[in-house]
Amino acid sequence: MSASTERGVALPLAVLTLLIVVALTLALSALSAPEPVIASNHLLAVQARAAAESGLEATMVAFSNPHLLSTRFAPTLAVAPLMRIGDTGAGYRVAVSVDATWTTFEKANQRRITVTGIAAAGHAADPETASNQAIKTIEAVIRRDSLLNTLLVAAAALLPGGGSIKGEIDTRRDASLDFEPWCVRTGETVTPLAGAAADGGHTLGNEGLVWGPGDGVPNEQGRDLLHRDAGPPPDFLFANHAFTPDELAALKALAISTGTFYRASPVVFAGHSPLPPAGSVVYVEGDLEIEAYGDDTTWTGWLVAVDPSGSGSGGRITVRCLPGCPSAWRRLTVNGLLYAEDRFEDSTPGANRALTVNGAVITRNLGGAPNRIEPERVADVRINLRCQGDGDARRGVRDAITGTADTIGIFDPRGRSGWFLKPGSYREIAGQP
């Protein structure tokens, strides 16, 4: 073959090779061109997810510090405002709700949080109007497990063992008071269910008077006096209003640290052995007896009596006139909580003794005996529901202990404070753009 012939073949081969290289280059360019866009979209998705989780964390912090931060959140995402995250193109919307199917206890101590995170490219971009944005929505349930907040006072007197009620029990709203006697949690008023909740075996002796949160007519079954036979709400359980073992352990530890822990049966508080300083928890392993002493004795705090052995031989709180007590008029006022693992008794016939509780009385009747509210006169025992209180002498259950308003989780023996994520409740809502 001549040289001129070889040159004629080489040229087409070179052109063909060049075409193949160009085609491959163009193909590779076409394939790699979307990569920056894909990477950018992935980044925005991660940023949107991070924004949503930031909203969840911010919500938990707000609920754990209601004395410093607002806990007023929108009920749905549709009306929730966008909260921008600093100098970024990201933000989130938060909705807080309570499930209708939750029990009374859960409604008081759980919140469903739905958060939508939005991210747009560029720090100055408006995530709401940006053409290129990512949206992620997550949902979780947060709850609280510290002592003062898990205690839901559903009535002025919770008496699962029933018994005689000769006294005045009142949960009506008093418009003349300059503070809120009911439970207030993050702007939500929790109305009590009844004046007293007692199991089937109870009697209204000698014209005892029980008023629920409604009208001024006393002793209406199911409205003023709630019990199992009258068909209480399906989510009402006496067990929901009892301290857990962890909470009792925390209360015991607190009482030991303040010198107000006692182990005897009975422990007697009277003129010769007065109650400890106000604003404390008196924790008794055994029975607790009190005589109204002085012309007018007022004490603020919690009285807790438990049975240390579980044998039913302790945990009773009794208010009575001790043998030989003077006949002069005596009145005892307790601002706070009386909590008895066994029963509550007030028996002062023939004596000028009166008891007023501004707060609540809770019994468990674990020893099997009923409660006895049998003073000389009906008006000698009066239990007024005071859940929130106003921080002064007219304290309620939730602020009857000094310092608890600003240290919500101090009683938790596991060191957990405020609101936390309920295990198993976190999920990402699918179908987001």
Closest CA to 237 of 197, 181, 194: 197
78 pLDDT band, cuts 50/70/90, is very high
pLDDT score at 418: 66
- pLDDT reading at 403 higher than 50: no
Instruction: Say how many C-beta atoms besides its own lie within 10 A of residue 304's C-beta.
Output: 26
115 with 164, same domain? Answer: no
197 with 259, same domain? Answer: yes
* C-alpha pair distances (Å), 88 with each of 51, 116, 135, 428: 10, 16, 15, 23
Cβ pair 249, 413 in contact under 8 A? yes
The whole-number average pLDDT for the span 94-108 is 80
**Any domain includes 23:** no
155 with 84, same domain? Answer: no
pLDDT score at 149: 56
191 with 138, same domain? Answer: no
- pLDDT reading at 39 higher than 80: no
**Any domain includes 325:** yes
- pLDDT reading at 104 higher than 70: no
229 with 303, same domain? Answer: yes
The angle formed by the CA atoms of residues 392, 394 and 396, to the nearest 5 degrees, is 100
pLDDT score at 115: 96
The pLDDT tens digits for 267-308 are 999 878 889 988 788 999 999 998 876 667 888 889 999 987
How far apart CA 146 and CA 247 sit, in angstroms, is 8
176 with 113, same domain? Answer: no
Reported as half-sphere exposure (CB side, CA atoms, 13 A), residue 96 has a value of 22
**Any domain includes 29:** no
Of 238-252, 282-296, 387-401, which one has max mean pLDDT? 282-296
pLDDT score at 114: 97
The pair phi, psi for residue 265, each rounded to 5°, is -150, 105
- pLDDT reading at 52 higher than 90: yes
**Any domain includes 398:** no
Q: Which of 43-47, 300-304, 399-403 has the lowest mean pLDDT?
A: 399-403
293 with 192, same domain? Answer: yes
- Token readout for 7 is 């040159």
pLDDT score at 425: 94
175 with 274, same domain? Answer: yes
pLDDT score at 215: 79
Structurally, the chain folds into a number of domains equal to 2
Of 14-23, 74-83, 120-129, 139-148, which one has max mean pLDDT? 74-83
* Mean residue pLDDT across the chain: 78
230 with 377, same domain? Answer: yes
The whole-number average pLDDT for the span 14-26 is 75
Q: Which burial class, exposed, middle or buried, applies to 82 when counting CB atoms under 10 A from its CB (0-12, 13-18, 19+)?
A: middle
**Helices within 236-311 (DSSP H only):** 245-258
pLDDT score at 298: 85
* DSSP secondary structure, 78-123, as one string: GGPPPEE-SSSSEEEEEEEE--TTS-HHHHHHEEEEEEEEEEESST
pLDDT score at 154: 81
Instruction: Say how many C-beta atoms besides its own lie within 10 A of residue 162's C-beta.
Output: 19
307 with 380, same domain? Answer: yes
pLDDT score at 228: 55
The pLDDT tens digits for 325-364 are 666 667 888 988 999 999 999 987 767 778 999 889 999 9
pLDDT score at 4: 57
**Any domain includes 312:** yes
The whole-number average pLDDT for the span 195-202 is 77
**Any domain includes 340:** yes
**Any domain includes 236:** yes
Residues 6+ apart with CB under 8 A from 15: none
**Any domain includes 392:** no
Q: 31: phi > 0 → left, psi -120 to 50 → alpha, else beta; which?
A: alpha
Segment (H or E) for 298: strand 297-306
**The domain containing residue 328 runs over which residues?**
149-385
351 with 265, same domain? Answer: yes
- Token readout for 354 is 């009166």
pLDDT score at 264: 84
How far apart CA 301 and CA 284 sit, in angstroms, is 14
pLDDT greater at residue 395 or residue 316:
316
The pair phi, psi for residue 302, each rounded to 5°, is -115, 140
393 pLDDT band, cuts 50/70/90, is very low
234 with 90, same domain? Answer: no
pLDDT score at 363: 93
- pLDDT reading at 367 higher than 70: yes
